[in-house]
Amino acid sequence: MQTKEDYILMRSARRSLVLTVNAEGRVVVRAPQRTPVADIERFILSHTAWIARRRAELARVRPDLTDGGTLCVFGIPRTIVQGSRARLAGDTLLLPSSAREEALVALLKKLSRERMGALLHEYAARYGFSYSSLRITSARGRWGSCSEKGNISFSFRTAFLSEEEARYLAVHELCHTRRMDHSPAFWKEVGAILPDFLRIRKGLRKKGAYMAFL
Ligand SMILES: [Zn+2]
């Protein structure tokens, strides 16, 4: 038996099969080391309806970039209207008539750089963190990262997120300049700055669909 589904297989020392649909709509299967491929593909086939439902959910949050459509920028819904160039104006998001997506991505890159840069600066000054550089990337799958050398990166998709979510991400990556792991000591450091971080992190986990578009 063979599934037509193109899937990503990740084997590990786990005991059971787990299936997810990633932000790009691809099936990801986590499997024990020795489970036969035939069993894995049977497992995928038995979840066909569930996979279709997950994909439909992902498609629903995909933005409608036509005039009158809505898109959250900085966590606030903005109505899309036509303008000579991409920019935010109150509750409206102006986009040019052609190459809208490219213009929007360029705007989101600029907005995320300004906001994340300001937040890094603010928290670094207040809590004595030091970092080397800020980079805005098109990475999917993660909102931000921090290298051993203290180079911090954020996805331009952070521009979709609310102020408190952006603050949490800035604090999270800055705390990595002191600790590269996600140990209890790391979370203690995050919690000392943002006592409410667990609630924010939980909300952020539901926003993975923003990784799927653009
Ligand atoms: Zn982390």
Question: Hey, where are the domains in the chain?
Answer: 7-60, 100-211
Q: 37-64: per-residue pLDDT in tens?
A: 999 999 999 999 999 888 887 776 667 7
Residue 138, C-beta contacts closer than 8 angstroms, at least 6 positions apart: 105, 155, 156
- Centre of ligand 1 to C-alpha 204, Å, is 13
Least confident interval from 49-63, 100-114, 119-133, 142-156: 49-63
Of 137 and 64, more confident: 137
Structure tokens at 104: 């929007």
pLDDT at position 9 over 80:
yes
Q: pTM score > 0.75 for this model?
A: no
Handedness of CA 88, 90, 95, 96 (dihedral sign): negative
Q: Cα of 48 to ligand 1 centre, how many Å?
A: 33
Residue type, 192: A
Instruction: Determine the Cα–Cα distance for residues 64 and 80; give it in Å rounded to an integer.
Output: 9
pLDDT mean over 158-178: 97
> Residue 25: its pLDDT value, please?
80
* Distance in Å, CA 167 to ligand 1 centroid: 14
Q: Calculate how far, in angstroms, residue 87's C-alpha sits from the geometric centre of ligand 1.
A: 31
What percent of the chain is modeled with pLDDT above 90?
78
Query: Ligand 1: distance of its center to the CA of 179 in Å?
Result: 9
- Rounded to whole angstroms, the Cα distance separating 30 from 52 reads 19
pLDDT-based confidence at residue 6 (cuts at 50, 70, 90)? confident
d(CA 212, CA 78): 19
Rg of the chain (C-alpha set): 20
Distance 172 CA to ligand 1 centre (A): 6
CATH fold group of domain 100-211: Zincin-like (3.30.2010)
Per-residue pLDDT band for 1 (boundaries 50, 70, 90) equals: very low
- How far, in Å, from the CA of 201 to the mean position of ligand 1? 11
Do residues 108 and 154 lie in contact, with contact meaning Cβ atoms separated by under 8 Å? no
* Alpha carbon of 195 to ligand 1 centroid (Å): 17
